[in-house]
Structure 1
Amino acid sequence: MLIGFAVPVSGGWATPARQARIAQEAERLGYHSVWTLQRLLNPAGSQDRTYRAVPDPLVTLAYLAGLTERVRLGVAIVNLPFYSPALLAKQAATLDHVSGGRLDLGIGLGWMPEEFAAAGVPMERRGARGEEFLAAMRSLWASGSGGGPSEFHGTFYDHPPVVMEPGPAQSPEPPILLGGAAEPALRRAGRLAAGWVSASRADPRTLGRSIRIVKEAAEKAGRDPSTLRFVCRAAVRVRAAGRADRRPLHGSFEEVRADFADIAAQGMTELFVDLNFDPEITGPEADPRESMLRAEEALRAFAPGG
């Protein structure tokens, strides 16, 4: 199972300098990938402080692309309804070139009503809208990679014959990893994507069930399930060992590494450590300097092969 690490993207520690430091150290230590996430905004007065001061994920990855050479750059996830197919196709293709073909594009459908309202798009029929979005975006990418003009006429998206150049650096496209936990979303990943990425709230003990659904859908669609990628967002909280109420991915470095082995045994092909969901790291009371010290300790402790 390949191991990645999320850069600081939520809370007071999420500054460009600290993002660069984590990404460069992750590359030096042999991590496979570094990751960001998307949150456009938060409801005013919300008591949920999970997402604070979150920067744009694609701009952040472009910044990190210029500071790294080998490590893959992943976003888990961007929400399709907040873009047009042409806009995301252009941004992703450009980022793929800027990074030298290192982009992993995680995609979702969104869930926060306030974000949909601010983006000016409806929440209804997100699944159907998402499938059509993917088809339109792929048509645009193909037009810039020698596939001829793109013309698309759908229920939600429509464009005349056009050519969008250049196409992505990776051929035929950056790997698309779909998010979602509901069965229709899992089956969509099996039919249409390079793989599936789990959410921060997913139960690490039941990932195998989701993987089976994705693989079944892939096989039914005539695809080879063995080629799919399965990426676990591991919302790690490092705590003292031996707690009676310990949950998976919460505990000492040794306990959490044992959880990684259990996750790999369920069929996950990749995992990235994400400290952005730990209130001791990202909460309003957290000291950003202390958060960085803890993150760097975790980077060393979870380093591949270490």
Structure 2
Amino acid sequence: MKFALHFGNNTFPDGAGAARLARLAEAAGFDSVFAVDHVALPESYESTYPYAPGGRLPGTQFTAMPDPLIWMAFAAAATTRLRLMTGVIILPLRNPLVLAKQVATLDHMSGGRIELGIGVGWLREEFDALGVPFAERGRRADEYVGAMRALWREDGASFAGRFVSFDGVTCDPKPLARTVPIIVGGHSEAAARRAGRLGDGFFPSIGAQLDTMPLLDVVRRSADAAGRDPAAIKILTGCPGALPGSGQDPLEAVAERQRRGVDRIVLPLGAFLPDLEESLPRFGEKVIGAFAG
């Protein structure tokens, strides 16, 4: 079982804080740290944020949220083993060739420690501000995944789709493994089906206002229907019972997730504040260490 910390970049938006978090997480035995994404937040919006009871994004549009890839580069430079993942980047808002270049460069320079968590977005007003159609964003995301993988896989790559098309294009450097794990995030059956159909993993986002565990079966059925091995798709979930102060036995809470096929436990960073120098090593010794190996 592996363990990750979520909300790294908006909790520690400054350089010193990012380095502090990354080094402490690595020393405590965490596998990875996640960084969230929004390009531009409107002052007002009618869209419903699906990961909080009130349907509103925590904080305000003035809350600092560094670009996740740049923040991850800073964290990677401060560590040697820690993996970094977007949790999640709003894929339809990005040019897939530019994003493929950025992610491949980051993976190449970090020694292969990057994962790309993707989502299709929920904030229509952000799409409007960037001039990207909100409709069919799922189909756009599917194509972008295919286009990026083609660029990572080979030189002289070609791709022909409805939203992106190129012929004989080379994008270097390549990721170390000629690919980057793509983890599909979301709380819907559409996201679960996308993960089964084309993802390397599935992350039913923390805070979804419904039980996301049944979606794991959707992932597996979708993978099987696509002729893929369901067991090869990594599952990442939250685990409230593992959090400090939950009142539950964290070892049993994690073991329950493990029995259900979860590969990585994702925990909100806020649960370990403010004393990271004490709380992270304590969790590493008591919980992470119990599941090592």
TM-score normalized by the length of structure 2: 0.85
Relative to 1, partners in 2 of residues 1:7 and 1:67: Cα closer, same or farther, differing over 3 Å? farther
Q: 1:163 aligns with which of 141, 164, 170?
A: 170
Structure 1 unaligned runs (5+)?
Answer: 237-247, 282-290
Q: 1:275 aligns with which of 261, 269, 277?
A: 269
Q: Report the RMSD for the aligned CA atoms in angstroms.
A: 2.4
Paired residues of 1:195 and 1:229 also in contact (CA < 8 A): yes
- Residue 74 of structure 1: aligned partner: 85
Paired residues of 1:168 and 1:174 also in contact (CA < 8 A): yes
Relative to 1, partners in 2 of residues 1:7 and 1:179: Cα closer, same or farther, differing over 3 Å? closer
Paired residues of 1:80 and 1:107 also in contact (CA < 8 A): yes
Q: Separation in 2 of the partners of 1:54 and 1:119? A: 17
Identical counterparts, % of pairs? 35
Relative to 1, partners in 2 of residues 1:82 and 1:48: Cα closer, same or farther, differing over 3 Å? closer
Structure 2 unaligned runs (5+)?
Answer: 46-55
1:198 aligns with 2:180: no
Relative to 1, partners in 2 of residues 1:62 and 1:194: Cα closer, same or farther, differing over 3 Å? same
- Residue 299 of structure 1: aligned partner: 280
**Aligned-pair CA distance for 1:175:** 0.7
- Residue 52 of structure 2: aligned partner: none
Q: Separation in 1 of the partners of 2:124 and 2:206? A: 19
**Aligned-pair CA distance for 1:255:** 2.2
Letter paired with 1:197: F
Letter paired with 2:2: L
Q: Separation in 1 of the partners of 2:249 and 2:73? A: 31
Instruction: Give the paired residue count.
Output: 274
- Residue 36 of structure 1: aligned partner: 35
Relative to 1, partners in 2 of residues 1:99 and 1:253: Cα closer, same or farther, differing over 3 Å? farther
Q: Separation in 2 of the partners of 1:292 and 1:17? A: 15
- Residue 209 of structure 1: aligned partner: 214
Encode CA deviations 1:12-67: one digit per residue, 9 max, x unaligned: x5322112111101111211112211122322157743462111110011111111
Encode CA deviations 1:89-112: one digit per residue, 9 max, x unaligned: 000100101110011110111111
Q: Separation in 2 of the partners of 1:34 and 1:64? A: 9
Give 3-state SS (helix, strand or coil) of 2:87's partner.
strand
Relative to 1, partners in 2 of residues 1:17 and 1:256: Cα closer, same or farther, differing over 3 Å? farther
Once the two structures are overlaid, the 10-residue window that deviates more, 160-169 or 65-74, is 160-169
Q: Separation in 2 of the partners of 1:209 and 1:298? A: 31
Paired residues of 2:158 and 2:168 also in contact (CA < 8 A): yes
Give 3-state SS (helix, strand or coil) of 1:9's partner.
helix
Give 3-state SS (helix, strand or coil) of 1:131's partner.
helix
**Aligned-pair CA distance for 1:272:** 2.1
- Residue 175 of structure 1: aligned partner: 181
Letter paired with 2:195: A
TM-score normalized by the length of structure 1: 0.81
**Aligned-pair CA distance for 1:76:** 0.9
